[in-house]
């Protein structure tokens, strides 16, 4: 089955380059040049992946991401951001972008990230309904994407959710940052595994309230382990 990619980018030269390169890789590609057009195409075509420029005429890529994530937590979205814009990256990741690529990008790197995001998304499809992963009073349902601790619902971004799934599936095993990176991001982040620490911190904060037991433990010099409290 040919996977389809929607490119939302107003710079014609870049949009055209992306179309040619992605079609060469065998993807079906369509292009939208504004936030509004992007939203319409997304609704009509239900693409397998979106490449979304942040700076768009009309409403921004960030606003479009917000609208898409309100109804669709699954479809991978990779943001194209200006190198300088840390704010866009952070708010994009908070809103559930799967990854971001800074401009100017190397086409090989972009293609690698597209492949990784599609591979992770297809591996995630149709988990068994009704089966919960648990540690202590924390429970997670992969099919419905529900996460609860002591009965309280917890909202996670797609990446935080994937990270918690991986830790729960490997309960009591010490995992190093490279393993986590490969499983959750789909490739090694060009040697920079700090992002793992950042996301561990986000997830810990969300799953631990008040005097609840810490479930994710740091193993100094190695990485992390999730386990039931003693």
Kindly list the residues in this chain that would bind Ca ion in the complex (CB under 5 A): 10, 53, 55
- How far apart are the C-alpha atoms of 196 and 147, rounded to whole Å? 20
CB of 227 closer than 8 Å to CB of 214:
no
Residue (10 or 142) nearer to Ca ion, CB: 10
Least distance to Ca ion, CB of residue 58, Å: 11
| Peptide bond just before 104 cis, omega within 30 deg | yes
| Nearer to Ca ion (CB atom), residue 53 or residue 160 | 53
Q: Which is nearer to Ca ion, 53 or 99 (CB)?
A: 53
Residue with tokens 């479009």: 64
Nearest C-alpha neighbor of 159 from the set 195, 132, 129, 188: 195
Cβ nearer to Ca ion, comparing 86 with 222 = 86
Q: How far is the CB of 22 from Ca ion (least distance, A)?
A: 18
Q: Which is nearer to Ca ion, 85 or 141 (CB)?
A: 85
CB of 40 to Ca ion, least distance (A): 18
136: three-class secondary structure by DSSP: coil
What is the nearest approach in angstroms of Ca ion to the Cβ of residue 83?
13
Q: Strand runs (DSSP E) across the chain, as ranges?
A: 4-8, 28-32, 49-53, 77-82, 99-103, 132-135, 138-141, 146-149, 152-153, 175-176, 216-219, 223-226
* Helices (H), ranges, 125-157: none
Which one, 54 or 175, has the nearer CB to Ca ion?
54
CA separation for the pair 129, 144 (Å, rounded):
7
Q: Whose structure tokens read 């799967």? A: 98
To the nearest whole angstrom, how small is the minimum distance from the Cβ of residue 79 to Ca ion? 11
Using Cβ positions, the residue closest to Ca ion within the complex turns out to be 55
Q: Which residues pair with 219 in a beta bridge?
A: 223
CB of 80 to Ca ion, least distance (A): 8
């Amino acid at each position: 089955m040919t996977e389809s990619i929607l490119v939302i980018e107003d710079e014609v030269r870049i949009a055209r380059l992306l179309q040619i390169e992605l079609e060469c890789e065998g993807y079906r590609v369509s292009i939208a040049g504004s936030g509004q057009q992007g939203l319409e195409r997304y609704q009509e075509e239900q693409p397998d992946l979106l490449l979304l420029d942040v700076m768009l005429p009309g409403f921004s890529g960030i606003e479009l991401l917000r609208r898409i994530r309100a109804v669709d937590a699954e479809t991978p979205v990779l943001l194209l951001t200006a190198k300088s814009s840390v704010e866009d990256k952070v708010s994009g990741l908070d809103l559930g972008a799967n990854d971001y690529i800074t401009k100017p990008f190397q086409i090989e790197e972009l293609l690698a990230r597209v492949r990784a995001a599609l591979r992770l998304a297809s591996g995630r499809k149709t988990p068994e309904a009704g089966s919960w992963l648990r540690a202590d009073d924390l429970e997670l349902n992969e099919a419905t994407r529900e996460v609860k601790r002591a009965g309280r619902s917890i909202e996670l971004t797609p990446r935080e959710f994937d990270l918690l799934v991986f830790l729960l599936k490997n309960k009591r095993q010490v995992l190093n940052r490279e393993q986590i990176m490969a499983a959750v991001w789909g490739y090694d982040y060009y040697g920079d595994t700090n992002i793992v620490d950042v996301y561990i911190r986000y997830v810990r904060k969300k799953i631990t309230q008040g005097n609840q037991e810490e479930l994710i433990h740091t193993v100094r010099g190695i990485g992390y382990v999730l386990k039931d409290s003693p």
